[in-house]
Amino acid sequence: VFDEVCEMSGVTLTRYMMEISRANPHLKEIESLMNSIQTACKTISSLVNRACITKMTGYQDDGCSINVQGEQQKKLDVLTNDVLKKALRFTGRLTVLASEEEDEPVSMEDRERIYADLRNSDVVLEEGNKYVACFDPLDGSSNVDASIPVGTIFGIFASGEETECLLDDEDLDGTPMDPESRAAKCLMSTLQPGTNLVAAGYCLYSSSAHLVFTLGRGVNGFTYDTHIGEFVLTHPNIRIPERGQIYSFNEANRWDWDSPMQEYVTSLQMGQGQSGKRYSSRYIGSMVGDVHRTLLYGGIFGYPADAQNRDGKLRLLYEAAPMAFLVEQAGGLALTGKNRIMEIRPRGVHQRVPCILGSRLDVEECRSFYNASK
Ligand code: AFP
Ligand code: FBP
């Protein structure tokens, strides 16, 4: 059914999800989440597009907007986080939401308070699968004032049993839940490895906006048609080329990289790699843009470990794992150097991880340098 839908042209994302969920009833709630995500992405696209006009560039000027990673937040970081949070909150399908811009995972409890009121009325509450969403609302935002491409990254996990009780504001044995237990359960349900992802994707805001995602059966890309206000299927069943000719790393960190990475990139520059060709360098410094190009043109992108940052820079839950899922679903590979990113169980919401992803043959070649080292 996925293939049948993908073969069509002019399919809007709304219709695509409708058809997918009609054929796969267990994906009904994912349809609702994807509809909210696409609405949020349209809104963010417009906010980014008009930021210079509406004076939304620059830092949040309340003087105290530093996120948990010590980064000063841009106005657009705060605003886009709010847009996504509100869009997802009212789907009724989330137990927990984690974001780069939130210190801790957020329970969807206030929506549930509304539901609690409804329980006392005659309204019938719909049951169904519940999910945990992790996102970076505006990745690459340090670039945004210069109109360089930025993006939204998201990953969706099934909600574990331990979080089901969050919905009732009480513990499994029926006693009211204290805030600390609630926070611990939110955290527990968020710390899942990439292999548990049920959906992941990104929206790139560039010369056009592209929403690219996977539901675990291949990757499809939709382009925002501003004339009709809809994302339209333009890149069905994306397959990353087996090998590319582009590498994409922040080479300013080169002398701090591990020696396998230094040797690998030198071999590409010299045309002494397995392909025998000299590679080009392309690095935007905005992961969504760099990954989008890598998916379409092939090659290798990464933020490896270096002497200053033993875990690299990219965050596992809302950058590396969703992108790894997407790239693997497109036929590529995503590694830390030797190991598969998808298999790492996070220890913290904002945990960083070395990330090397792209065309299968390129990433395998890079891994051979790590495997040859001790
Ligand atoms: P910002 O959101 O702070 O701009 O960071 C973007 C990012 O996490 C990722 O999108 C880039 O690939 C990476 O950082 C760029 O980092 P360097 O500036 O160190 O190359
Ligand atoms: P294309 O239009 O072929 O992409 O070339 C772009 C360009 O003329 C400049 O915009 C860019 O700075 C430069 O080439 C990049 O060249 P190189 O591939 O050597 O890095």
Question: pLDDT digits over 66-114, tens only?
Answer: 776 777 899 999 999 999 999 998 888 888 999 999 999 998 765 555 5
Q: Which atom of ligand 1 is nearest to the CA of 138?
A: 2
From the list 251, 241, 227, 208, the residue with the least C-alpha distance to 363 is 241
The reported pTM is 0.89
CB 210 within 8 A of CB 203: yes
* Per-residue pLDDT at 21 exceeds 90: yes
Q: Can you tell me which atom of ligand 1 is nearest the CA of 285?
A: 15
Question: Could you please report the per-residue DSSP string of 72-124?
Answer: BPBHHHHHHHHHHHHHHHTTS-EEEEEETT-SS-EE-HHHHHHHHHHHTTTPP
Q: Which ligand 1 atom sits nearest the alpha carbon of residue 303?
A: 12
| Residue 364: burial class (beta carbons within 10 Å; 0-12, 13-18, 19+) | middle
d(CA 45, CA 17): 21
Question: pLDDT by residue (tens digit) across 267-285?
Answer: 999 999 999 999 999 999 9
pLDDT of 331 higher than 60: yes
Of 27-36, 106-115, 258-267, 295-304, the range with the lowest mean pLDDT is 106-115
- What is the token pair recorded at 197? 């992802």
**Over 80: is that where the pLDDT of 161 sits?**
no
- With a pLDDT cut of 70, the percent of the chain lying above it is 87
Res 225: pLDDT: 95
What would the mean pLDDT of 8-30 be, rounded to a whole number?
90
Is 369 a residue whose pLDDT tops 90? yes
Q: Rounded to whole angstroms, how far apart are CA atoms 81 and 97?
A: 11
Pocket test for ligand 1, best of 139, 153, 202 (most atoms within 8 A of CB): 139
CA-to-CA distance for 227 and 249, rounded, in angstroms? 36
Ligand nearest to the backbone CA of 314: 1
142: Cβ below 6 Å to ligand 1?
Answer: yes
38-42 contact pairs (CB < 8 A, 24+): 38/13, 38/14, 38/211, 38/231, 39/87, 40/83, 40/84, 40/87, 40/88, 40/152, 41/152, 41/203, 41/209, 41/211, 41/224, 41/231, 42/209, 42/224, 42/229, 42/231
- What's the pLDDT at 125? 47
pLDDT band at 115 (very low <50, low <70, confident <90, very high): low
Which range has the worst mean pLDDT, 95-104, 121-130, 149-158, 228-237? 121-130
Out of 50-59, 124-133, 165-174, 320-329, which region has the weakest mean confidence (pLDDT)?
165-174
Q: Is the ipTM of this complex over 0.85?
A: no
Confidence of residue 5 (pLDDT cuts 50, 70, 90): low
Say yes or no to pLDDT of 356 above 70: yes
**Does the beta carbon of 65 sit less than 6 angstroms from any atom of ligand 1?**
no
167 falls in which pLDDT band (50, 70, 90)? very low
Ligand 1 and 85: CB distance under 6 A:
no
Q: Which is more confidently placed, 367 or 124?
A: 367
Question: Above 80 in pLDDT, residue 133?
Answer: yes
Estimate to the nearest angstrom the gap between the alpha carbon of 369 and the chain centroid: 28
pLDDT bucket at 165, cuts 50 / 70 / 90? very low
Q: How far is CA 243 from CA 163, 218, 297, 336, in A?
A: 42, 18, 9, 19
Q: Cα angle vertex 127, ends 124, 133, to 5°? A: 130
Q: Does the CB atom of residue 77 touch ligand 1 within 6 A?
A: no
